Chains A and B, each alone.
Chain A
Amino acid sequence: MAMKALDIYKHLPKTNCKKCGYPTCLAFAMKLATGKADVEACPDLDPGAKALLGGVTRPPVRAVTIGAGERSVTIGEEFVLFRHEKTFYHPPGIMVEVSDTWTEVEVRSVVDEVRETVVHRVGQDLVLNGVAVRNESGSADRFAETVRLAGGGSSLPLVLISDDPTAFEAALAIAGQYRPLIHAATADNWEPLAALAKQYGSPLVVRAGTPADLAAITAKCAEAGVADLLIDPAPGSLQGYITVATEIRRSAIERTEPALGYPIYLDAGALGETDAAVATGILKYAGIIVTPRFSRASREAALTLRQNIYTDPQHPIQVTPGVYPINNPERDAPVLLTVNFSLTYFTIVGYLEASRMPCHLLIVDTEGLSVLTSVAGGKLTETMVADALKKFGVADLVDHRILIIPGYAAPLSGKIEDATGWKVMVGPRDAADLPEYLEKEWKT
Chain B
Amino acid sequence: MSENSPDKLAIREVRLGATRAEGGTREVSYVIGGDRGLPFCGNDAGRRLVALEICDDPAIWPPVVRNYVGDLVNNPEDWAQAAERRYGADLVRLNFTSTKKRGFNAFADIASTTERVLEATTRPLIIEGSNDPQVDSEVFRRCGEAGEGERLLLGTAEADRYRSVAAAALAYGHLVIAQSPIDVNLAKQLNILLRETGVPEDRIVIDPYTGALGYGFEYSYSVMERIRLAAIAGDDDLAMPMISAPTDTLSIREVREAAPEEQDAMAVAWEFYTAYSAFVAGASVVCVRHPLTVERLKKVLEA
Q: State the A residues within 8 Å of B (CB).
A: 82-84, 121, 237-239, 242-243, 246, 272-273, 275-276, 279-280, 283-284, 295-298, 300-302, 304-305, 307-309, 311, 313, 343, 347, 350, 370, 376, 432
Chain A residue nearest to B296 (CB atoms) is: A275
Residues 68-85 of chain B, each 1 if its beta carbon lies under 8 Å from chain A, else 0: 000000000000000000
Most buried by A among B39, B222, B296: B222
Contacts of A238 in B (CB 8 A): 40, 300, 303
B133 at the interface (CB under 8 A from A): no
User: How many angstroms from the CA of A243 to the CA of B44 in the assembled complex?
Assistant: 10
A237 with B280, Cβ < 8 A, contacts A297-B266, A297-B268 known: no
Tell me the minimal C-beta distance from A2 to chain B in angstroms: 15
Tell me the minimal C-beta distance from A86 to chain B in angstroms: 11
List 6 A-B pairs, Cβ < 8 Å.
A84-B223, A238-B40, A243-B41, A279-B273, A284-B280, A297-B269
Q: Is the interface of B mostly helix, strand, loop or mixed?
A: helix
User: How many angstroms from the CA of A170 to the CA of B274 in the assembled complex?
Assistant: 42
Q: Contact at A300–B217, with CB atoms within 8 Å?
A: no
Most buried by B among A82, A307, A376: A82
User: How many angstroms from the CA of A296 to the CA of B165 in the assembled complex?
Assistant: 42
B163 at the interface (CB under 8 A from A): no
Contacts of A432 in B (CB 8 A): 253
Contacts of B274 in A (CB 8 A): 305
Q: Contact at B214–A304, with CB atoms within 8 Å?
A: yes
User: How many angstroms from the CA of A55 to the CA of B238 in the assembled complex?
Assistant: 38
CB-contact partner of B276 in A83, A279, A297, under 8 A: A279
Residues 204-228 of chain B, each 1 if its beta carbon lies under 8 Å from chain A, else 0: 0000000001111111011101100
Contacts of B223 in A (CB 8 A): 84
Q: Contact at B262–A246, with CB atoms within 8 Å?
A: no
Contacts of B213 in A (CB 8 A): 301, 304-305, 308
- Since A82-B225, A305-B217, A313-B218 are in contact, a sample of 5 more A-B pairs with Cβ atoms closer than 8 Å, ordered by chain A residue number, is A237-B303, A238-B303, A280-B280, A301-B272, A347-B253
Contacts of A297 in B (CB 8 A): 258, 262, 265-266, 268-270
Tell me the minimal C-beta distance from A113 to chain B in angstroms: 16
Contacts of A298 in B (CB 8 A): 269, 273
CB neighbors of A among B251-303 (8 A): 253-254, 258, 262, 265-266, 268-270, 272-274, 276-277, 280-281, 296, 299-300, 303
User: How many angstroms from the CA of A309 to the CA of B222 in the assembled complex?
Assistant: 9
Q: Contact at A301–B280, with CB atoms within 8 Å?
A: no
User: How many angstroms from the CA of A276 to the CA of B218 in the assembled complex?
Assistant: 17
User: How many angstroms from the CA of A296 to the CA of B258 in the assembled complex?
Assistant: 11
A82 with B265, Cβ < 8 A, contacts A302-B273, A313-B222 known: no
A279 with B269, Cβ < 8 A, contacts A84-B226, A313-B218, A370-B216 known: no
B6 at the interface (CB under 8 A from A): no
Chain B residue nearest to A122 (CB atoms) is: B214
Chain A residue nearest to B249 (CB atoms) is: A301
User: How many angstroms from the CA of A246 to the CA of B269 in the assembled complex?
Assistant: 26
CB-contact partner of A296 in B218, B222, B226, B262, under 8 A: B262
Chain B residue nearest to A82 (CB atoms) is: B225
